[in-house]
Structure 1
Amino acid sequence: MIFFSESFGIKSLQTPAKRLLELLFDYRIENRPVLFHVFSNGGVMLYRYIIEALRTQQPFKNLRVAGTVFDSAPGRRNLRGALRALATVLASTNVLLRYLLMLTFATTVVLLRILLYPLTRFIHESHYDALLKAPTRWPELYLYSQADAIVSASDVKHMADARQQLGVSVKAVDFTDSAHVSHLRVYPTYYSTLCTTFLSDCVRGSPR
């Protein structure tokens, strides 16, 4: 879904996003503050549809979202980074099949998301652009690194700055030398402290 159907403009992650929100009601925690912890661009794609559902569908409109943590995300279109991510996902796949899938993905991205972008952007807005102007105003914490080879640190910083200009309470932390979604592994204490402090501040500021 992340690498292929979404690249073709098929909103395949809308259903998983709705199911994820429905779990809050299954576990009967829909009246408690909700904090999203989003990992990489795959998580961002899912999150994009989650916030759309929160805005447009009942009973999700009544959920109390306290804030969002972004880990190694979001990033703009980055073919090299996307191929690295896909190669990681397909690491245990047959070598021939792996390279065939990667070639297919690269061709799709170049055609639909680069060469034909002036047309396709009207059909399926990029997830990055959608988040730039998202109507949500709860606090956001961005955890990223200059050493990330998949999602550019400058993309994350641009998003954080843009959201702050819209009036969102934003904090951005650059871990400098940790790899993609590896900040917790490299800096467990610091990472945990940042997240728990952010969670505490969000819940304290969440309307009762």
Structure 2
Amino acid sequence: MANADGLEYYIKFPSPNFNYNQNNGDSDFVFVVNEEKLPVILLFGWAGCKDKYLAKYSQIYEERGLITLRYTAPVKCLFLRRYQMPSIGDKLLKLLLDLNFDNHPIIVHCFSNGGAFLYQNFSLAVDKHVKPLQIKGIIFDSAPGRRRISSLFRAMSAILEGNIIYNLSVSFVMTMFLSVIWLYEMVNSAFSTKKVFQTDPFEFLKDEVNRCPQLFIYSKNDHLIPHTDIEYFAEYRRKHGVDVKTICYERSLHVKHLPENRESYVNSVCSFINKCLNGNN
């Protein structure tokens, strides 16, 4: 783990003697890469994600000799202090520049709306930078989804720990409080003459400037973000000229698609990244 500008992130580089011409993972996939400018995979975790879980996803890429950087935004920033998220996006960009990754191909792999909201602010920082990064593709796992009070309550309940009475009561209070904030933001956005900071990744990312390929991995059994939300979003992006691929599972739960569909999941993300790196259509 490293700490820069208040960001607690995890980064891993391949070993110097890594053999890119052989299969090093749990599939038959082998990347063909420029070893002087290795691809960098940014993994943005879901709200409340513990790094030990995010590390299971980065392992997919590390086993194949890619650089990985994992970061999950603090829960307080995702829900209560969302005004701090643009600063986090700026710090992530600065971190990549300090690491001299500005000429490396970059793939973003984000999870749930928490990861999508982090990507939104990272994307804003990249757009403002004089020399844009080489973002080649985006993977959305269980995201993005529309704002719903029921989904917010389930998310808060999943994040909070403690006995069921404490969990449900605090989740209810937090849900009601955040719902009022949502309502205020919607009214302010509708009637304000000034440009309002967008805190809803579903709405912001629909019209994101970046037109690189996007992969959506989701399920019909997701109780936090309905598959219809993701399908609507993916189709919207496709109609606006984005190369979109979707993988829909029948039974896996929210951000549980890897453990429940490992072979298919690994092959899908690896094929997508290879396509992004080589510009295949």
Residue 105 of structure 1 aligns with which residue? 174
Deviation at 1:107, TM superposition (A): 1.5
Deviation at 1:85, TM superposition (A): 1.7
Q: 1:166 to 1:65 in 2, by over 3 A?
A: same
What runs of 5+ residues in structure 2 fail to find an aligned partner?
1-72
Letter in 2 for 1:113: W
Q: TM-score with structure 2 length normalisation? A: 0.65
Q: Are 1:8 and 1:112, in contact at CA under 8 Å, matched by a contact in 2? A: no
Mapped to 2, the partners of 1:120 and 1:98 lie a distance apart of 32
Q: 1:3 to 1:105 in 2, by over 3 A?
A: farther
Letter in 2 for 1:83: F
Matched residues, percent identical? Answer: 27
Mapped to 1, the partners of 2:258 and 2:102 lie a distance apart of 28
Deviation at 1:142, TM superposition (A): 0.3
Q: Are 2:160 and 2:171, in contact at CA under 8 Å, matched by a contact in 1? A: no
Q: Are 2:157 and 2:171, in contact at CA under 8 Å, matched by a contact in 1? A: yes
* Greater radius of gyration (CA): 2
Residue 14 of structure 1 aligns with which residue? 86
Deviation at 1:184, TM superposition (A): 0.5
Deviation at 1:196, TM superposition (A): 0.4
Q: Are 2:88 and 2:122, in contact at CA under 8 Å, matched by a contact in 1? A: no
Which of 240, 249, 267 pairs up with 1:175? Answer: 249
Give the match's secondary structure for 2:84: coil
Question: In terms of mean alpha carbon deviation, does 21-30 or 64-73 score higher?
Answer: 21-30
Question: In terms of mean alpha carbon deviation, does 114-123 or 173-182 score higher?
Answer: 114-123
Question: In terms of mean alpha carbon deviation, does 72-81 or 105-114 score higher?
Answer: 105-114
Residue 134 of structure 2 aligns with which residue? 64
Deviation at 1:16, TM superposition (A): 2.4
Deviation at 1:130, TM superposition (A): 0.5
Question: In terms of mean alpha carbon deviation, does 157-166 or 10-19 score higher?
Answer: 10-19
Q: 1:192 to 1:176 in 2, by over 3 A?
A: same
Larger % of helix: which?
Answer: 1
Mapped to 2, the partners of 1:53 and 1:25 lie a distance apart of 12
Residue 134 of structure 1 aligns with which residue? 208
Which of 99, 117, 120 pairs up with 2:186? Answer: 117
Question: Higher relative CO (CA 8 A, sep ≥ 6), structure 1 or 2?
Answer: 1
Which of 230, 239, 242 pairs up with 1:156? Answer: 230
- CA deviation vs aligned residue, 1:43-101 (integer Å, no higher than 9, x gap): 0110010111111124xx3310100000000001022122212212112x466664454
Give the match's secondary structure for 2:222: coil
Letter in 2 for 1:167: G
Q: Aligned Cα RMSD in Å? A: 2.4
Residue 196 of structure 1 aligns with which residue? 270
Q: TM-score with structure 1 length normalisation? A: 0.86
Letter in 2 for 1:72: S
Mapped to 1, the partners of 2:204 and 2:163 lie a distance apart of 35
Q: Are 1:2 and 1:45, in contact at CA under 8 Å, matched by a contact in 2? A: no
Task: State the aligned residue count.
Answer: 203
Q: Are 1:112 and 1:120, in contact at CA under 8 Å, matched by a contact in 2? A: no
Mapped to 1, the partners of 2:77 and 2:275 lie a distance apart of 37
